[in-house]
Amino acid sequence: MKPNCTVLAGLLALTAVPASAQLDKLKLSDTVQSIKFAGDLRLRNDVSAKRGAGQNNRGRLRYRLRFGPEIELPENLTAIIRLGSGTGEQVSTNQSYDNLGAQKAIWLDLMYLRWKPMLNDDAMTSLHAGRMQNPLWRTYSSDVVWDDDFNPEGFGESIEWVLPGPDMSVFANGLQAVADEDSNSGKNQWVFSSQFGVEKTLPLESRLRVAGAYHKWSDENRSSFGQVTVQDGNRRLTNGSLAARFGVGEVTGQLSSWIGSVPLAFQATVIRNFGQVHNDNIQGPIGRDGYQAGLIIGSAKAKGQWEAAYFKKYSQIDSTVADVADSDFGDGGTNRVGHIAWIAYAPRDWMVLKVKGFVTDALDRSFPTVAGVTPNAGTNLDKAINRLQMDLSIKF
Ligand SMILES: [Ca+2]
Ligand SMILES: [Ca+2]
Ligand SMILES: [Ca+2]
């Protein structure tokens, strides 16, 4: 009887301690100025209908977890760490319900240092190094070039100046990322991006933000990138390396406005691969252009809010590097044209319900549209893919 009482008394004593006092016992090193944990969790039903030889319809129940700390250090330095679910792909942290409940892996999704020096009262500067969030400014339509899940490994720089006078700011972003390192080559493969943009306040509380960028890949034809996921599109050599060269020019922009109290955002991105010219590896149409354009009405960011959106996307075979482009359009990648639409509703500040549909088709059927499949097989050239995603997302 007596030992039980002791345990009970101990438990009562523990629960009687206020939460704040328990937190006081959390020991942090003197270097840590503050620490913030955040994350998100998404449950998805992903259904795709595929037409074409060798193509199967699929229905996948999937989840995504991302979670980690932002650790504020001295001297305006922050360490950002995030773990993510998935299968280690460069363009997704999705994991399917699969293999009789087998344990699923956790990956390093972000791990970088951010330095925000105070250089000027009218300028915001930040420098990044590590495996980081893409430092380039992007809208939804920018995923014709960059999948939102792609976290480059290298260096990033961002600066934005507020100009005196006409409600205007200018900004510049840089990215120098290692695409791949190989033991048999002293030279890494890289991507170098430079972006310059401007934001201007317009009448009727409208705003226009536009940026031009150039994404230059180097040694992209030397070998493959050793990437986990090879996406559709892009001509490739038998060793898996890209056949075309890539120097992609991009103009991306957003015009935000209002209909009464409902926000409205027009977005468009236009790309051309200026690196793409005829060479020994490139026969047939050169295939170097792409765009995505559309609008989002409303904004499902707080309790009771909704949004609806429509976009048209068009991406020729070598318009950009397929393996870092949006992974949800068709099976992901390039050489595809189609429509994207969604509606979303936020029943709580921290919860969003979303239904998103894709109606797509292969753009040029004379090319292999399935990664790694040669065209002369006569299969896989007809590749219409329609897709429906139903999401429940929680932010915490
Ligand atoms: Ca993705
Ligand atoms: Ca490698
Ligand atoms: Ca390589």
Looking at all shown ligands, the one closest to residue 225's CA atom is 3
Cα 329 to middle of ligand 1, angstroms: 9
Residue at 277 is within a domain: yes
- Those residues with Cβ within 8 angstroms of residue 58's Cβ, 6 or more apart along the chain or in another chain: 46, 47, 48, 50
Residue at 8 is within a domain: no
Looking at all shown ligands, the one closest to residue 219's CA atom is 3
Cα 380 to middle of ligand 2, angstroms: 29
- Those residues with Cβ within 8 angstroms of residue 157's Cβ, 6 or more apart along the chain or in another chain: 126, 127, 128, 135, 172, 173, 174
User: What does the pLDDT read at residue 55?
Assistant: 75
Count of domains forming the chain: 1
**pLDDT(30) > 90:** yes
Cα 87 to middle of ligand 2, angstroms: 18
Residue at 133 is within a domain: yes
3-state secondary structure 220-269: CCCCCCCCCCCCECCCECCCCCECCCCEEEEEEEEEEEEECCEEEEEEEE
pLDDT tens sequence across 347-393:
999 999 999 999 999 888 777 545 445 544 444 555 789 999 999 99
Task: Give the range of the structural domain holding residue 248, as residue numbers without chain letter.
Answer: 39-395
Cα 353 to middle of ligand 3, angstroms: 40
Cα 225 to middle of ligand 2, angstroms: 6
Instruction: For residue 347, count other CB atoms closer than 10 A to its CB.
Output: 13
Residue 329 corresponds to which tokens in the numbers above? 């359009």
Cα 183 to middle of ligand 2, angstroms: 7
Cα 92 to middle of ligand 1, angstroms: 4
CATH number for the domain including 164?
2.40.160
User: What does the pLDDT read at residue 14?
Assistant: 55
Cα 340 to middle of ligand 1, angstroms: 14
pTM over the 0.75 mark: yes
User: What does the pLDDT read at residue 204?
Assistant: 87
Cα 258 to middle of ligand 1, angstroms: 29
Residue at 68 is within a domain: yes
User: What does the pLDDT read at residue 376?
Assistant: 45
pLDDT tens sequence across 66-82:
999 999 999 999 999 99
Residue at 378 is within a domain: yes
- Report, as an integer, the average pLDDT of 186-211: 95
Residue at 19 is within a domain: no
Cα 187 to middle of ligand 3, angstroms: 9
Cα 66 to middle of ligand 1, angstroms: 13
Task: Say if residues 225 and 179 touch (Cβ distance below 8 Å).
Answer: yes
Residue at 175 is within a domain: yes
Residue at 34 is within a domain: no
Looking at all shown ligands, the one closest to residue 328's CA atom is 1
Name the least confident of 37-41, 54-58, 102-106, 318-322: 54-58
Cα 238 to middle of ligand 3, angstroms: 13
Type of residue at 384: A
